[in-house]
Amino acid sequence: MKDHIELGKSGEELAVALLETKGYRILERNWRLGKEEIDIIARDGNFVVIVEVKTRTSNIFAEPETSVTKSKQRILIRIANAYVHYHRQQGEVRFDIITVLIRPEGETINHIVDAFYATR
pLDDT digits (tens, 9 = 90+) for 30-54: 999 999 999 999 999 999 999 999 9
Dihedral sign computed on CA atoms, order 32, 35, 36, 37: positive
Q: Give, as one character, the DSSP assignment of residue 109.
A: E
Domain encompassing residue 111:
4-116
Domain count, the chain: 1
Residue 20 sits in a domain whose CATH number is 3.40.1350.10
Convert 30-62 to b/e letters by CB count within 10 Å (16 or more is b): ebeeeeeebbbbbbbeebbbbbbbbbbeeeeee
pLDDT band for 19, please (50, 70, 90 cuts).
very high
